[in-house]
Amino acid sequence: MGMEQVSVFLEAMAFAFWFVIGIIVLIALVLFVIDRTQKADAIRRNYPVLGRFRGLFNTLGEFFRQYFFAMDREELPFNRAQREYVRHAAEGKSSTLPFGSTRNITVVGTPLFVPAAFPPLDDQFSSSEPLLIGPHAATPYNAPSFFNLSGMSYGAISKPAVRALSRGCRMAGSWMNTGEGGLSPYHLEGGCDVIFQIGTAKYGVRDAEGNLSDDKLREMAALDVVRMFELKLAQGAKPGKGGILPAAKITDEIAAIRGLPKGSDGISPNRHREAGNANELLDLISHIREVTGKPVGIKTVMGDPEVFTELFTAVNARGEQSAPDFITLDGGEGGTGAAPMPLMDLVGMSIREALPILTDLRNRAGLKDRIRIVASGKLVNPGDVAWALAAGADFVVSARGFMFALGCIQALKCHKNTCPTGITTHDRRFQEGLVVEDKDKRVANYVRNLVKEVEVIAHSVGVSEPRLMRRRHVRLVQPDGSSLPMDRLFPVAAE
């Protein structure tokens, strides 16, 4: 290259450099004028252009905290250690770890299981047996697994997510709850047992006016895989408020399944109009059970325990056949795709406090063998599930644990239709990342491995299978760092 060519090249590079600088200055001037004249953001108005970096760093901070700065046990709502357990279980990997636990066992409320001095020998262990629900229904349900999938609606989660969950639940022998969004063809694809949830909007079993339709109830009940009906009164993330499905997530198909118009948010009433007190609730339960012939239960959150006392008193006045066949108790720490922050943060009793109270009230009412208790609310790891069974639950359900098994990375975009893993979005570009034929196996692995490790805990405390664990097998850490047996803190044992 001659000197003349070098000179031309350098001139071109200098021109390109100053051209780029000019473009940057022009953009900065335009942004300066825009920021200085807008009235919505005080930071951008007072610090034009520079103020924009605050929003950028705010967004990036969430990413950097999750992957670089937060310790394994620090994040909320689920920390890295919890998510990693589910990932390892879903991949079928061993949960064996080296060196020692990273869990701080001095945190108040931490359950510490009591090892037996002389546990059963290896050949004396057994797996949990199926448990009957709804003995007074025409078609009772003998539920095979103590760990199952909680309600997640098609609409709140995507088509491939529902398909993978349905197939995975069938492989693992657990039930799948439809959520309040009605029954889609994708719930049925895997052939697993299905719990049809009836929300306050009656999606899937409503008439043109939004009232409960007996004909549609019979239509759902005629499907063999639909084993039970769950009447949703409340959920942990938003007690006292109905479900919310953003308009952006309502496709033509979802609108048809739910009976919703397109273009507006799907908002459910805050309660069932037919059930304004305990007796009206029992009337509604009995009606659905009579029409469908299947067991019928309720899902709710504890506030004032007296409400359950009134319910059990009403049941005993009518006779035990009038009782709900099961009660799904969600904790205030329960999750959802979209909920107002005050309700998500501040309303509803934690499952850690509410579950022992509910099981005691049921047992005092003499209804232990009649009403099954299903525990819900951030119970995704073996220790959480084992604690719930020891506290008195008959079953445990999880939604977010199954989401992690599908590949959820806790991006916190469930309500934006931009979920990067394809789980809570209807954008096909994102859904392509969720391969049903792979994720269904991960779901099945998660359930099987969790159940196996809950059985390991049960054997360690000296019983042959998980439902034989009792409160005396668990100690809870107190504010002074000591621990007390759970049966002393909640003295009416769930024996």
Q: What is the pLDDT of residues 204-250, one digit of tens each?
A: 898 878 889 999 999 999 999 999 999 999 876 556 666 677 777 67
pLDDT at position 232 is: 93
Question: Both tokens of residue 395?
Answer: 């079953």
24 CB-near residues (< 8 Å, 6+ apart)? none
Q: What percent of the chain has pLDDT over 90?
A: 45
Mean pLDDT score, 427-437: 81
* Domain extent listing, the chain: 3-69, 122-489
Residue whose structure tokens are 């020891």:
390
Instruction: Give the model's pLDDT for residue 2.
Output: 66
Helix axes 278-292, 214-221, angle to 10 degrees: 60
pLDDT of residue 355: 96
Higher pLDDT, 173 or 417: 173
Q: How high is the pLDDT of residue 216?
A: 94
Q: What is the pLDDT of residues 76-122, one digit of tens each?
A: 566 666 667 677 677 777 666 555 566 677 788 889 999 999 888 87
Strand order in the sheet with 474-477: 111-113, 474-477, 483-485
Contact partners, residue 369, CB within 8 Å, separation at least 6: none
Cis check: omega of the bond before 77, within 30 degrees of 0 = yes
The tens digit of pLDDT for each residue in 436-468 reads 898 899 999 999 999 999 999 999 999 989 999
Work out the percent of the chain whose per-residue pLDDT is above 70: 83
Q: What is the mean pLDDT of residues 256-285?
A: 84
pLDDT of 73 higher than 70: no
| CATH code assigned to 122-489 | 3.20.20.70
Residue 173's closest CA among 135, 139, 146, 151?
Answer: 146
Beta strands 111-113 and 474-477: pairing type? antiparallel
* Per-position DSSP letters for 252-271, written without gaps between them: HHHHHHHT--TTS-EE--SS
Q: In the prediction, which pLDDT does 227 show?
A: 97
Cβ pair 356, 391 in contact under 8 A:
yes
Question: pLDDT band at residue 55, thresholds of 50, 70 and 90?
Answer: low
Residues 109-140 have pLDDT tens digits of: 889 999 999 888 877 777 788 999 999 999 99
- Token pair for residue 404? 């992690």
pLDDT of residue 387 exceeding 60, the answer is yes
Task: Supply the pLDDT for residue 224.
Answer: 95
pLDDT(493) > 50: no
